[in-house]
Structure 1
């Protein structure tokens, strides 16, 4: 195939896919290293399955992997729900940046997520705690200039 770099990781359909193992925060590890199992991409999950799986990953300190699950929902959702799933995916990426110590990236993504989620009706579709997530993202973003809080907890997608 012309235009492809030699040795570039590809999936079965020939699309570029990084096959490097990743750690719990999604950072690439050297080939041959044991990494954290990644969530399969492109799965058709119900909203309930998506939210449950993403919450499990968030609670386990793996927001990058939760983002991948939420991104699938964003890509596959009907148009009226895409903004909700995009906001949730951005929230998970903001949390990832936070845990990686990237304050600037965390603030940008958390603010973007809060802005998107604030446009959603409350209560949110599928029981998503839109108001709680907006507050969580805004409070965390405002606290970040002082450093990442040591008592940082995962966002709660739905009230338990």
Structure 2
């Protein structure tokens, strides 16, 4: 039997049920919607903050994990707030003591971005330590160890003349001990460090 110019080739029983009734094209999976004529799923618009910057609006829990839209989460720290160094340390310590190291990291990150150049590594290291504790509380041992180690290395050069009463030596020991002992999730509040010598 000859073929016609419209023949798709092979046994018609192999492909006939894959022909879309709407557009007539052959699809790979007859059970799935036709990829050629099925309506495309609407793309979710990117979340933005009040200033128009991209920022995920999904609520988060106390450890910064995203929750479904509409769920009740822990209010996030406003982004880009310029505080004095002591205000940053006080607010970050409050959040650490409440078991919210992710939120403390956001405060410390603002200080890192707005502080003087000569202190940037110090604030970045403090933010990394808070993220390390966040991973430790989530049970991510590898991530926690990496961030605790990096954070301690970033702040260590400030140990000889730490500004604002920051307990660089104590924080470095705390990070090393936590990283060495970590086997699984830990309660964030009870493992929170003291940021300043005077806050003990």
Q: Could you tell me the TM-score, scaled by structure 1's length?
A: 0.91
Structure 1 gaps of 5+ residues are none
1:69 aligns with 2:107: yes
1:79 aligns with 2:111: no
1:84-104 deviation line (CA, Å, top 9, x unaligned): 100000000000000000000
Structure 2 gaps of 5+ residues are 1-42
What is the rounded CA distance, in whole Å, between the counterparts of 2:75 and 2:118 in structure 1?
Answer: 32
Q: Which moved more, 1:30-39 or 1:120-129?
A: 120-129
Partner of 1:16: 54
Aligned-residue RMSD, C-alpha: 1.6
Which of the numbers 85, 95, 98 marks the counterpart of 2:136?
A: 98
Contact 2:99–2:187 (8 Å) recurs in 1: no
Partner of 2:147: 109
Contact 1:63–1:92 (8 Å) recurs in 2: yes
Q: Provide closer, same or farther for how the CA distance between residues 13 and 147 of structure 1 changes in structure 2, counting only shifts above 3 A.
A: closer
Q: Provide closer, same or farther for how the CA distance between residues 150 and 34 of structure 1 changes in structure 2, counting only shifts above 3 A.
A: closer
Q: Provide closer, same or farther for how the CA distance between residues 7 and 148 of structure 1 changes in structure 2, counting only shifts above 3 A.
A: closer
Which of the numbers 152, 164, 167 marks the counterpart of 1:129?
A: 167
Q: Could you tell me the TM-score, scaled by structure 2's length?
A: 0.73
Question: How many corresponding residue pairs?
Answer: 155
